[in-house]
Amino acid sequence: MVKDTFFRKKVTLNAGGKLIDLSSPKVMGIINITPDSFFADSRKPSIDEALLQAQKMLTDGATFLDIGAYSSRPGAVDISAQEETDRLLPVVEAIAAQFPEAIMSIDTFRAGVAESAINGGAHIINDISGGTLDIDMFTTVARLNVPYILMHMKGTPQTMNQMADYDDVFGEVFDYFVSKYSELKRLGVHDVILDPGFGFAKKAEHSYALMSRMNEFDLLGLPILTGISRKRMVYGLLGNTAEEALNGTTVLNTIALMKGTSILRVHDVKEAVEAVRIWEAVEGPPEAGQ
């Protein structure tokens, strides 16, 4: 199969001293240490529940576990950094102790929370705000020397629904990535993953417009993370609920793989891993140097 080799995407990620090959797409499982995340089955507020979910996701083939203690659903209740840390840190430490092979990503926009979690055994910072909600985030990432997931969002989880206004959503997100990545590079951050932020300050039509052009983000030469699992853009279109949106999620994840995504962030690891395996059977193994 002839593949476009003009633009070379970064295909390795150094997380906790482990070199991860992203030329073969990977799956990130979502574990929410929250009482109010939009998909009820993802809520694992106790350490025991989180450990059971981590074990299941790792067994099902997850490369990463994304741990969050602050609900970022539209209109979610704001909590203090201390409460977020108190929820998060015991779970991070427990997973690190029981599953030392697990690569943990921390879903937070607060630099202090992120640093506590990294010191507690996590490896990656996943920031929905792209450094806009905490001015110390970029310098903290650089100092800790950890991979950083750079997401596009406008406003806050409490205000983002009122900010879903674009003349050119792809152009705005692309320019945002260029600007933010330049800043991260100046600070010496080596491993950056881009997340278009599906559903964050975006109506369904904006999210689908981004998906249709997602392969064009390859011009930036960075891995792309896709997080559309059971979101409103899926169940709103299909007229069902988040609980009924697994099939739609799998279809959209498969489209994301066709568009060049490197990481699928999902609630349902087994199904996402199966989508990757089938897609790779069609596409064939990655070519050397890709």
Residues identified as active-site = 231, 265
Nearby residues of 253 by Cβ (< 8 Å), 6 or more positions away: 226, 228, 229, 264, 266, 272, 275
Judge contact between 27 and 263, C-beta under 8 A: yes
C-alpha to C-alpha distance for 108 and 111, rounded to whole angstroms: 8
Count of C-beta atoms within a 10 Å radius of residue 53: 24
C-alpha to C-alpha distance for 112 and 82, rounded to whole angstroms: 9
